[in-house]
Copies of this chain bind each other. A is one copy, B any other.
Amino acid sequence: MAQAVRTSVFQKDFPPALERRTNTGEDYIEQILTVEAEKLDSIRVEKILSFHMSRDIGETDPLTEAKTSINRVPNFEKLLKAHRKSWRELWKRFDICIEGNMKNQMLLRLHIFHLLQTASPNSIKLDMGIPARGWHGEAYRGHIFWDEIYIFPFLNLRVSEITRTLMIYRYRRLNEARENARRSGYRGAMFPWQSGSNGREESQELHLNPESGQWIPDNTYLQRHINADIVYNIMQYHEATCDKEFMTLYGAEIILEVANFFGSKAEWDDAKERYVINHIVGPDEYHTQYPDSENPGIDNNAYTNVMAAWVLKTACEVFHGLVPSRKEELRNQLDISEENFIRWDQVSRKLYIPFIGDRIIAQFEGYEKLEELDLEEYRKEHGEYLRIDRILQAEGDDPNRYKTSKQADVLMLFYLFSNDDLQEIFKHMGYDFDPKMLSENIDYYNKRTSHGSTLSKLVHSWVSARSDRKKSWESFEKALLSDFEDVQGGTTSEGIHLGAMAGTVDLMQRCYSGLRMNKNILYLNPRLPDNLDGLNFKIRYRSKWLSVHINHEKMDVSVIEGWGNPIKLGFGDSVYELSIGDQKTFKLKNHE
């Protein structure tokens, strides 16, 4: 990495006589500029820096490049002008306007700003993944987790080429994921929970508990759900773009390899007469082991099992939709046969979902046997956002013993899928899903969540949006403050929480607008919370830009520009066809 700096001084717009002295020490370099000035003289100092890395595309020597750049860049005024131009264009596509609360609006824009600082049309030129904390700090050492699942929906519906490139980042690392699976005794590809630059496993094996100063063994690397999350992202991108070229060349291969992994990870359980996925960890990182066990991991995490079933089903469908020549090619190259598809179908229909009683989905098998913990008691001392794991460990206790989650786990299912989708998946798996279970499960887990992750309030806001708009809005406003008020207590200085930032924006875009994409239909069924007077944004769906205006009385949708077939727009029980230039107004029901 190399930086070059150009410092220019202007006195009444002209460069004054100037003495420059450069001092270098072991770990610093400074330049001292001395200029003679009268009292009240105005002096302008322009300091411009160029930054280059050996990983920049096509560059060999960062120092040469940094020097070349700094010699080329114009003055500050011109740089600022170009910068403003670029941002003006970005805001045209990426802004989301809300009516009713200026502070919320500003926070949403702060989030959009930070998102675009991390992933933007500039990213298309690079080989980069979505880092959990943006490029803003050193937390997690730049590892790539699952945060893209919260971030892609906003990008998919604006400049989908950004998402395309970010998914090709994963594709480029498919061989490393294959090796990762092979090493663990599985088929296909197993993307690691935290991956380093070339896609290798980089999850930590120990982590520091700042409450106790102790290093604790860390089993969170067992979060195999990240593989399903990647498949989910591909399918969401595909719904937004219908980019069959991407699916044919890249998407299908990833999906099949992940299906191959889950197909080999699932085992038949004679007693249950179902397939099980054991020794893994779900999104909730407080539960990485049974309290009485020596072995890492828990069994049959509901989120992972439902996602795995969905992946296996999706893989069969995606493969079925490919052109015959690509089918043959993939079958040969990935060494998959009819038998694999039969197994995937069987496993997807017979994966086990643990329940507590009839209607509460158990976070994992045996969850019901854990002890209750009175979170409110701890909140009195430690505040709302509890890292209860650290607190308990410092007390010599273990979060694995309790029914207490760091973040949404079961509820992630309601975040990613609509009730209709879930009904379909559960039915496929041979389980009943009653839509009323939604609020019962929310209640059950909300009480037991410490919100030790910034992603938690966000997901809680989302899943409550239909059942309890007031509570949803409260959670949204809290999620909105995650970084602005550094609610986790000091974590923002190590980098913003990009997933939570993008997620709050997506709450406006998809949740309150009721935006859902499914089987070539774009659904918009808005239900604004009372505190939200209106919502205005543009989205790009299947090569067409749409403008959407929503308030409590009506929704206007117009198809502004683009190409391709008319879009299918679902509202209520009807589906409308809209061509370019079409505009349609929908009357919204009054509030209950």
Contact = CB atoms under 8 A, between A and B. Distances in A.
Contacts of A121: 249
Contact of A57 (B72, B172, B333): B172
Interface in A244-286: 244-245, 249
A552 interface: no
A34 interface: no
B325 A59 contact: no
Chain B CB within 10 Å, residue with most, of A58, A127, A243? A58
Nearest to A324: B561
Contacts of A125: 168, 171-172
Contact of A197 (B60, B172, B325, B543): B60
A401 interface: no
Contacts of A93: 325
Q: How large is the interface on A (under 10, 10 to 19, 20 to 34, 35 or more residues)?
A: 35 or more
Interface in A191-239: 197-199
A589 interface: no
Interface in A62-102: 65, 72, 85-86, 88-89, 92-93
Interface of A is mostly: helix
Interface in A458-495: none
Contacts of A325: 92-93, 545, 560-561
B58 A198 contact: yes
A424 interface: no
A309 B324 CA distance: 43
A329 B198 contact: no
B54 A54 contact: yes
A581 to B, nearest CB: 12
A333 B249 contact: no
Contacts of A245: 161, 243, 543
Given A161-B245, A245-B161, A57 B332 contact: no
Contacts of A58: 127, 172-173, 197-199
A368 interface: no
A333 B86 contact: yes
A534 interface: no
A72 B179 contact: yes
Given A58-B197, A197-B60, A323 B127 contact: no
A254 B580 CA distance: 27
A323 B57 contact: no
A84 to B, nearest CB: 10
A249 B172 contact: no
B85 A332 contact: yes
A562 interface: yes
A563 interface: yes
A60 B88 CA distance: 36
Given A58-B127, A563-B244, A65 B324 contact: no
Nearest to A323: B561
Contacts of A324: 560-561
Interface of A: 54, 57-60, 65, 72, 85-86, 88-89, 92-93, 121, 124-125, 127, 161, 168, 171-173, 179, 197-199, 243-245, 249, 323-325, 329, 332-333, 543, 545, 560-563
9 contacts: A57-B172, A58-B199, A59-B197, A124-B249, A125-B168, A243-B245, A244-B543, A323-B545, A325-B561
The 6 closest A-B pairs by CB, nearest first: A58-B198, A323-B561, A58-B197, A89-B329, A125-B172, A57-B127
